[in-house]
């Protein structure tokens, strides 16, 4: 079976070439061809010796996920559905803004964490993505988006906020991050690559030590009672432990703050009391808040907070001295907004059946 070289960062690729009896600089050449030039086969790599190209053709491959579907929103947001085999597809979203272009990347086929307000969570879970399948999303989008008139890449920022919990696929995510940051790969700054987590505390500590990029935490609640209901992982790593992990992460983080993501759910977590609880909760954690109006999906059971409730909530946090943004809803006409990514998941957890039974019970 041929080895897919997209699964390797530079360190792994260098070891692979050493095992082939080749010098380390060959790994850098091949990495630049794959990630900077978008090469899909070794015959394109014209500065490699013919004998090496022949050897690579026999022993290795560059396997990129196949494109199943591409959609573009009226606001310029683009979404790609990529085939990752056995009937599964993952979604990747590009969000254009005036000062940057952000790519939202998936890390798993589905998600096992069962956050109740998330469409991905309702789809169930199939498997982790390989490093090649993760970086393949950036490969595809980079090729599709091209460069600016100034010959700069359109994609300037990457957020691991697509389908799945990145920390639950730690090793493959770290390998993909290494390729994103490497000057022979995509050359992105640590400040421009963000990993989002629902609060897997041990993995947060590991990431701090091996690959400290910007960190976003999917908080969504101001107390353990509410968070236990909507983010079940909180029962394992409650808010006190999560806040301590955030403080530890900041010791090595490329930014001097944590971004707290907070989906606004009507009547659940959006009252003035919740905002005041948040202020107390994060008083020792340098942070910014990103308030996200809930993006509805069929049978979610939740409603989006009113604009007035969001405004009051924001104002309370701002008056306490916090930087607060309210995320614009982008790409919802193609189901590309936050919380709407569902992909195509062959569920191994029977999650969909469980939710159908719950909904039938509620209707009865």
Asked if residue 144 lies in contact with residue 88, where contact means CB atoms within 8 angstroms, the answer is: no
Name the CATH architecture for the domain at 3-61.
Answer: Orthogonal Bundle (1.10)
Q: Is the pLDDT of residue 80 over 80?
A: yes
List the CATH code of the domain at 66-363. 3.20.20.70
pLDDT of residue 329: 63
pLDDT at 346: 61
Other Cβ atoms within 10 Å of 98 Cβ, number: 4
The confidence score (pLDDT) of residue 335 equals 55
Rounded distance between C-alpha atoms, residue 198 and residue 312, angstroms: 25
Contact 255, 191 (CB under 8 A): yes
Catalytic member of 22, 91, 114, 133: 91
> Regarding beta strands 101-104 and 193-197, do their DSSP bridges make them parallel or antiparallel, or are they unpaired?
unpaired
Q: Which pLDDT score, from 0 to 100, does residue 349 have? A: 57
Rg (C-alpha) for the chain, rounded Å, is: 21
Phi, psi at residue 157, to the nearest 5°? Answer: -135, 145
Whether 91 is catalytic:
yes
Dihedral, CA of residue 283, residue 287, residue 292 and residue 297, to nearest 10: -90
pLDDT digits (tens, 9 = 90+) for 305-358: 999 999 999 999 999 999 999 987 655 554 544 444 445 556 565 555 544 443
pLDDT of residue 279: 98
Give strand pairing partners of 69.
Answer: 81
Q: What does each C-alpha distance from 38 to 35, 136, 144, 152, 213 come to in angstroms?
A: 5, 10, 10, 15, 25
Strand partners, 325: 290
How many whole angstroms from its chain centre is CA 317? Answer: 26
- pLDDT, position 111: 86
For the stretch 214-261, pLDDT in tens is: 999 999 999 999 999 999 999 999 999 999 999 999 999 999 999 999
Is there a catalytic annotation at residue 133?
no
pLDDT tens figures, 85-94: 888 888 899 9
- pLDDT tens digits, one per residue of 149-193: 666 788 999 999 988 999 999 999 999 999 999 999 999 999 999
Per residue in 270-311, pLDDT (tens digit) is 999 999 999 999 999 999 999 999 988 777 888 999 999 999
The answer to whether residue 144 scores a pLDDT higher than 50 is: yes
| Domain range annotation of the chain | 3-61, 66-363
Which three-class secondary structure state does DSSP give residue 153? strand
> pLDDT tens digits for 5-37?
999 999 999 999 999 999 999 999 999 999 999
Identify the active-site residue in 115, 118, 287, 338.
338
Q: What is the pTM of this model?
A: 0.89
pLDDT of residue 116: 86
Contacts of 92 (CB under 8 A, 6+ apart): 79, 80, 82, 103, 104, 105, 106, 137, 140, 141, 162
Q: What is the pLDDT of residue 295?
A: 84
Q: What pLDDT, on a 0 to 100 scale, did the predictor assign at position 273?
A: 98
- For 319-360, give the DSSP string: HTT-EEEE----SGGGT-STT----B---SS-HHHHHHHHHH
Q: Where are the alpha helices (DSSP H) in the chain?
A: 10-19, 24-35, 50-59, 119-122, 131-145, 170-181, 201-210, 224-230, 239-249, 272-281, 307-319, 351-363
Q: According to the model, what pLDDT value does residue 123 have?
A: 75
Residue 76's SS3 state is coil
Residue 119 three-state SS? helix
């Amino acid at each position: 079976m041929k080895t897919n070289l997209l699964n390797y960062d530079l360190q792994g690729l260098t070891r692979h070439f050493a095992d082939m009896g080749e010098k380390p600089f060959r790994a850098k050449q091949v990495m630049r061809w794959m990630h900077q030039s978008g090469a899909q086969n070794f015959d394109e790599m014209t500065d490699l010796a013919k004998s090496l190209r022949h050897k690579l053709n026999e022993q290795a491959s560059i396997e990129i996920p196949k494109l199943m579907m591409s959609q573009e929103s009226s606001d310029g947001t683009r979404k790609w559905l990529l085939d990752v085999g056995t009937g599964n597809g993952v979604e990747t979203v590009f969000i254009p803004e005036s000062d940057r272009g952000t790519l939202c990347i998936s890390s798993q086929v589905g998600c096992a964490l069962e956050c109740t307000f998330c469409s991905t969570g309702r789809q169930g879970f199939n498997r982790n993505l390989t490093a090649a399948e993760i970086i393949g999303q950036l490969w595809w989008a980079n090729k599709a988006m091209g460069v600016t008139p100034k010959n700069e890449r359109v994609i300037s920022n990457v957020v691991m906020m697509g389908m799945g919990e990145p920390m639950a696929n730690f090793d493959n995510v770290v390998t993909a991050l290494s390729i994103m940051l490497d000057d022979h790969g995509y050359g992105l700054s640590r400040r421009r690559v963000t990993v989002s987590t629902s609060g897997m505390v041990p993995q947060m500590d590991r990431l701090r030590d091996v690959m400290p990029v910007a960190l976003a935490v999917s908080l969504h609640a101001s107390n353990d009672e509410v968070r236990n209901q909507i983010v079940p992982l909180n029962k394992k790593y409650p808010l006190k432990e999560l806040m301590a992990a955030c403080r530890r992460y900041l010791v090595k983080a490329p930014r001097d703050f944590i971004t707290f993501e907070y989906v606004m759910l009507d009547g659940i977590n959006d009252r003035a009391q919740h905002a005041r609880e948040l202020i107390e909760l994060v008083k020792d954690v340098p942070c910014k808040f990103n308030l996200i109006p809930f993006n509805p999906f069929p049978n979610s059971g939740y409603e989006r907070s009113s604009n007035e409730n969001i405004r009051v909530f924001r104002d309370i946090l701002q008056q306490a001295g916090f930087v607060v943004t309210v995320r614009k809803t982008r790409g919802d006409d193609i189901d590309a907004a936050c919380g709407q990514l569902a992909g195509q998941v062959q569920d191994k957890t029977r999650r969909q059946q469980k939710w159908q039974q719950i909904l039938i019970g509620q209707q009865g």
